[in-house]
Structure 1
Amino acid sequence: MRNFMMNETKVMEFILIGFSDFPDLQIPLFVFFFLTYLATLTGNVLLMTIIRVHRHLHIPMYFFLSILSLSETCYTFSIIPKMLVNLITEEKSISFTGCAVQMFFFIGFGGTNCMLLTAMGYDRCVAICKPLHYRVLMNDRVCIQLVAFATVTGFTLSLIDTYFIFTLPFCGEKEINHFFCDMAPVIQAACTENNGIKIVIFIFCIVVVFGSFLLILLSYVLIFNTILKIPSTKGKCKAFSTCASHLTVVIVHFGCASIIYLRPKSVYSLEKDTLISVTYTVMTPLLNPVVYSLRNKDVHLALRKSLGRNLCAWVR
């Protein structure tokens, strides 16, 4: 706590290098990221609205999906607006406190997303493996408890990680080789090597990322085991189709997270991590509404009905 409150050099801000190595691409990158961010916000808000408006979507699977969309929206809001500002201004600094706040919300919503995907996997497992008991096992109270657990756990681990990182001593004005305050680049900016803190943070990453993925994997082992027992090919396809969208998002989400947070130190590269970070901070949040809108028949139908109704009202 002493280092955090009375840092020897009283670091007041960091410099986010981000995409400074590409000065000629600042405006094109701004346009690309801005349009992607706008599409992400529009997609997620539209998805939440459709689920809210159409009563036949008021079931646990879509309840979790709407919460995931809300979390993804907040997740991108903690990173992308600052990144967009830095792309079009000469001033690329972020205050010490601002960096800590950004990291707290980024890790918090990121961890929440991991556990929400785990809850969605559990929901699909119950729906396919225990269809007769689905309404009892996945009632409203259970769904709310799962969301509350995901949120509280995600932000509690985020608070611990952020506290440990910002107790490290930082010497003078420091450059962060990233476009936001992610854990590894900020730790690299510290004056000293503190392996103890790195181990603690790595353990928490294992708990959130790898732990969530193992639970999802277990759910799908049970799901596939049940699907294989279905006699008809049509029945198997129908059962698997209810999981396809979720499985697609899981593979992309946990694939990127594993590369960043669970890879060996020997293959660590801040430059490569920056490019991978673009995938899970900018592209993956857009994937959620796109995949569920295009691959999910119920959402697709509800979207078409809503657009058709609005078009008819506009014509009149």
Structure 2
Amino acid sequence: MVDPAVNRTAARAAAATVGLGVAGLTYATVIERNAFVLRHNTVSVLEPGATPLRVLHISDLHMTPNQRLKQAWVSELDALEPDLVINTGDNLAHPNAVPAVVQALGGLLSRPGLFVFGSNDYFGPKPKNPFNYFQKDHKRVHGEPLPWQDLRAAFTERGWLDATHTVRELEVSGVRTVAAGVDDPHIGRDRYETVEGRPNPLAHLRLGLTHSPEPRVLDRFADDGYDLVLAGHTHGGQLCLPGYGALVTNCNLDRSRVKGVSSWGSTMKLHVSAGLGTSPFAPARFCCRPEATLLTLTPVSHGDATFEEAQSLPPLAAERR
């Protein structure tokens, strides 16, 4: 005969487990996914003697029209007065979200900017089996077409430059910059041969852009002598474990580089943004806050290191879908 005390203990343990699960899910879906953070990194990649450059990296907004808190937070980023804005795609999560994205970016669109698109600029999200993310080569499932042409027109009309499969040369705050980008490698749209070759050696900064940080693309940028590549897509793992980190990267990048600054090859730096949004069908983050990053690029000198700190802007009330 089973001791009633044992049954009561087992029932309490089960209830506690369920309670923790509900609390964790509530935290991930209501609190952390709206706990936007601004990260600061200092990265030494410029030619000696160049003036430091402040670059705001935004990625993976996954915007829907009703996400007012996210829109308000993003609109505050213009007060940082960055020298250059880089957007590495996945702006949309709804066919009617273009006005929301444009309004949120606001004054940032009047600053020098470069962009490439991701799969969720071209196609809407769809429900997926979450275990598929543990298979790096799982079949891609596309949703309805999204109005990426309208978004591109809005960006370019305000002065941002589309870096997709083209090489751009510009001067930003006295820093001669060469930038090249590829379309999203995650869905096989990259055509690196359209930008291959060593960039202008007179440039102070050689910048690469891609939505998904696929190693085959990063290798090509490194071989051609680029200083820094900016990417998004990974969401920083989105659901991470304390002491372990990201469970997956949703691409062929290793987990150690799932977000932040790392080295690729002997001289190139890589910055992967954990992004600001999630799919509407997986609206949760755990131990991986949504972020934008202000990169301060400085000249290379002996003994330089990369520094990182996180800054939370004033907290906002939790946002629901």
TM-score under structure 2 length normalisation: 0.26
Whichever structure has more strand as a proportion of its residues is: 2
TM-score under structure 1 length normalisation: 0.26
Whichever structure has more helix as a proportion of its residues is: 1
